[in-house]
Amino acid sequence: MMYSRFFLLTILLTCCGITSLHAQLGFCGGNSGDPIFQEDFGSGTTDGPALPAGTTTYNFTTGTPNDGDYTISSTTNYFDWLSIEDHTPGDSNGKSFIVNASFTAGQFYQREVSGLCENTTYEFSSWLINLQPVGSCEGNSIPVNVRFQIWDGTDTNILAQGDTGSIPGTGTTVWKQYALVFKTAPGQTSVILKMRNNSNGGCGNDLAIDDILFRSCGDNVTISTAANEASLVVCEDQGSVSRTLTATPDSSVFSTHAYQWQQSTDQQIWTDIPGENSAILNTPAVTATTYFRTKIAEDIVNVNNDLCNVVSDVFDITVLPIPPAPTSNGDVEICEGEIGLLSVNTLNAYSINWYDAPTGGNLILANERRLEVNNAGTYYAEANSTEIECASTTRTAVTLTVNPLPVVPDDSSTFLCEDSSTTLDAEVENVMYQWSTGATTQTIDVTEPGDYDVIITNENGCSATRTFTVEQIDLPRIDKIVSDGPSIVVSTSNNGNFEYSLDGVSFQTSPIFEAVEGGFYTIYVQDNTDCGVVTEDFYHLVIQKFFTPNGDSFNDVFEPDGLEVFNSVTISIFDRYGKLLKFGNTNSTTWDGTFQGERLPEDDYWYLIEADSTQFKGHFSLKR
């Protein structure tokens, strides 16, 4: 613990140099060796323990540290200081070294560090933080300012020193790392570390230190092959491999170089390779992942002393195991027109390539665990490394079956007579049915027009849809029937492919019956789809549109046709001015175009016929 505390305070001085670095204050410019000494001050909720006697003139306390006091604690929640966790990653209730500077500037720590290697460069490092928040002490907080010094073992010659300069309170809770580099002289195996405050204590100059390291400092050393490979990845099926490795130091620290090559299977435990003490290593044949590095020192006597050497970069020869064949998620069945999704599983470290054959064949899709296809057949999935070509020795077969759809008749149209029903037939047997009406039978009866769908599903679960369009045929609706001279004209209020008849036997497509004698008739109207017939009785009175009383015995008199069916008939004829020219009854319903024996001129004349309870009005022309 004495050595640990001594080193701790040494780093404290080194760490505090943040705002003004001298030439000796800084980090190792090359590679650093494994930690020779490491102090994280432990963990727990109890303050302490105190530093060894003689290490410092400051007072140890388990409570709030006043000026000239220090403590080892998991909390910094004193005064108005920043409340922070220690720096060590993963600590639970981790502790740090907390210092409240004395009122008088000066040396506050001294300790000898022994067991060093001669003629060797070292780095002390530590993490430091000013505990004062911004604006504390009414804006007059004393900054942290520490000097680090390394003296020889006789305490007469200084080897290195550096000042941190002023480190004001910033309010940040981020730790920063600082270091001091020095070199031992020939024959020198110990040094004295001294730390001092350059600022007086009072309100401010309060700091915490954590994670102190002491390690050797040497060149940056890279490892490569003649092909400038920095690492190598091979597949297990390539057999054994080897490489000639060359270590290249940058001579930033060492003027001479001694080597000892090492190998490891986990980068945790390293073993020396006997007799390999030059800059070049011909690796042994490798069949499993192996790591190579070299220890390096400036003096051959120091190369195997971990207090004196550094290590190079690591050259990896990674031997990838052959991936196992992927695991199928099962064969897939789809219906015609669908897309099949084939899939397999493998470890995340592997990719999947799809082929059309169990060996060789054509690559269908690369780097996908799922394959979308619609052609029936067997497809083959191969696992491969994502780093290099290192494929599974076998491929996994996944089969896609494409089942046919049920064969259904084409969509069809049919007709529905008004106020009746019609039957729709899917016309496919031994399958399942799902009608849009909810029915599940082969046939359904419908009474409304519209579109009806039936989903037909076969034994493979494949479905096809057939649509029926049902159109309603409305019965004719007679709007009116009129006599137009000798013709009967029928009008309907709706449209359709209607047929017309006067006897219910012989039908015509024209709604006009020509040259029909006057009298009572029954008019028949039907749609040509035989959806039904409607009838209406009609009295047809034939009124000439004109007559020509010229004595030629043709159309010489105005004589309505059809009045004989009535019991009582009167007829009145008027000129355009309403003058009664003719009045007759059942026995006298004709007019010869005269009035009181005088022939009347060509003109339009009006008639009023009262037949039983029915009146007929209209006009006709007299032509000479």
Average pLDDT over residues 354-381: 97
CATH, domain range 478-540: 2.60.40
Write out the H or E segment, with its range, that includes residue 3. Answer: helix 2-15
Backbone angles phi, psi at 481, to 5 degrees: -130, 130
Output the average pLDDT for the chain: 90
Average pLDDT over residues 468-482: 95
Residue 24's pLDDT band, with cuts at 50, 70 and 90, is low
Residue 11's pLDDT band, with cuts at 50, 70 and 90, is very low
As assigned by CATH, the class of the 327-403 domain is: mainly beta
Report which residue type is found at 543: I
- Asked if 2-218 and 221-320 have one fold, the answer is no
How many angstroms separate the CA atoms of 559 and 541, rounded? Answer: 11
Average pLDDT over residues 605-621: 93
pLDDT at 345: 97
Q: What is the dihedral of CA 198, 199, 205, 206, to 10 degrees?
A: 40
Tell me the two tokens of residue 371: 């394959």
Percent of the chain with pLDDT over 70: 96
Tell me: the pLDDT tens digits for 177-196? 889 998 888 888 888 888 88
Domain ranges of the chain: 2-218, 221-320, 327-403, 412-468, 478-540, 546-622
Burial per residue of 197-221, b for 16 or more beta-carbon CB atoms within 10 angstroms, e otherwise: bbbbbeebbbbbbbbbbbbbbbbbb
Half-sphere exposure (Cβ direction) of 34: Cα atoms closer than 13 Å: 11
Average pLDDT over residues 494-514: 95
Tell me: the pLDDT tens digits for 159-174? 899 888 888 888 888 9
Burial per residue of 21-46, b for 16 or more beta-carbon CB atoms within 10 angstroms, e otherwise: bbebbbebebbbbeebbebbbbeeee
More confident residue, 226 or 8: 226
More confident residue, 110 or 423: 423
Average pLDDT over residues 67-73: 93
**6: pLDDT strictly greater than 60:** no
Q: Which fold has domain 546-622?
A: Immunoglobulin-like (2.60.40)
Which of 568, 572, 576 lies closest to 614, judged by CA? 568
pLDDT at 16: 35
Average pLDDT over residues 563-573: 92
How many angstroms separate the CA atoms of 582 and 131, rounded? Answer: 136
Minimum mean pLDDT range among 8-17, 515-524, 547-556: 8-17
Do residues 401 and 410 lie in contact, with contact meaning Cβ atoms separated by under 8 Å? Answer: no
Chain centroid to CA 170: how far? Answer: 43
pLDDT at 422: 95
Q: Looking at domain 221-320, what is its CATH homologous superfamily? A: Immunoglobulins (2.60.40.10)
Q: Which fold has domain 2-218?
A: Jelly Rolls (2.60.120)
Residue 198's pLDDT band, with cuts at 50, 70 and 90, is confident
How many angstroms separate the CA atoms of 331 and 364, rounded? Answer: 18
**158: pLDDT strictly greater than 50:** yes
* Cβ-based neighbour number of residue 142 at 10 Å: 21
* Cβ-based neighbour number of residue 299 at 10 Å: 18
